[in-house]
Amino acid sequence: MTTVQQLTQLAQLLDVTRLQDEDDTQQMELWLDSVQQTGLAPAALCIYPDFLPLLQARKQWLGDQKIARATVVNFPGGQLGSDQVCQQIEAARQRSADEIDCVLPYQDLMAGKIGAVKSFLIDVRQACGPMVLKIIIESGELITAQQVARATELVVDCGADFVKSSTGKVPVGLTDEAAQIMLTVLAGADRMVGFKASGGIRSIEHGLALVDMYQTITGREANAKHFRIGASGLFQELVKALA
């Protein structure tokens, strides 16, 4: 039986995400109110850059609960040049973002343009400075296991803090096979790189299974510094379960 402690700990690993194109300021404020009223402390809130200023009014709550402000760049298609993406990163920094979730130019990877991918990753790492950088490899769009592994290796090699599976904007999100490949690469890396599971993770059971998979493959305890789950529906399921 799942305990209250397990549920609370799972909530602390979440990047609670709202990336809905139709949102306006009022809707985002209402959503932020609803998250704050739960009394839970996720690892981060991940929202579109335009909404980052809304978090300034909640600075004390975020600071007290140690909730990071995360946003997305090169999102969702991964098709912008590094100059444009670096401009997006700088704009997010100016809006007090703590963490950047950046989409890998995965089409270039699939086309064998490895040098271009490496150059992009080096540029965005430099642009982020001290901000936490998570690279989204869009594993559901990659055709082979080798491509998933190669994408993960490039993220490790180029200095990112996390490798993330999916934008949640494509038909195939995170699969068990992709998670296992990514975690196996991370377990063998020569430095500690975090794993962010995202893309269709909606149930408590799935979330706990991913925690177990992470700990089993890497041999590390899951904590928000090195393991995250990007989700919105899962957070609501945890709220219900803890009510």
Catalytic residues: 101, 164, 196
| Three-state secondary structure readout of the chain | CCCHHHHHHHHCCEEEEECCCCCCHHHHHHHHHHHHHCCCCCCEEEECHHHHHHHHHHHHHHHHHCCEEEEEECCCCCCCCHHHHHHHHHHHHHCCCCEEEEECCHHHHHCCCHHHHHHHHHHHHHHHCCCEEEEECCCCCCCCHHHHHHHHHHHHHCCCCEEECCCCCCCCCCCHHHHHHHHHHHHCCCCCCEEEEECCCCCHHHHHHHHHHHHHHHCCCCCCCCEEEEECHHHHHHHHHHC
Find out whether 238 and 206 touch, Cβ atoms under 8 Å: no
Token digits of residue 84 = 């444009």
Give the angle 37-43-45 at the CA atoms, nearest 5°: 65
Relative to beta strand 44-47, strand 14-18 is parallel
> Phi and psi at residue 133, in whole multiples of 5°?
-115, 120
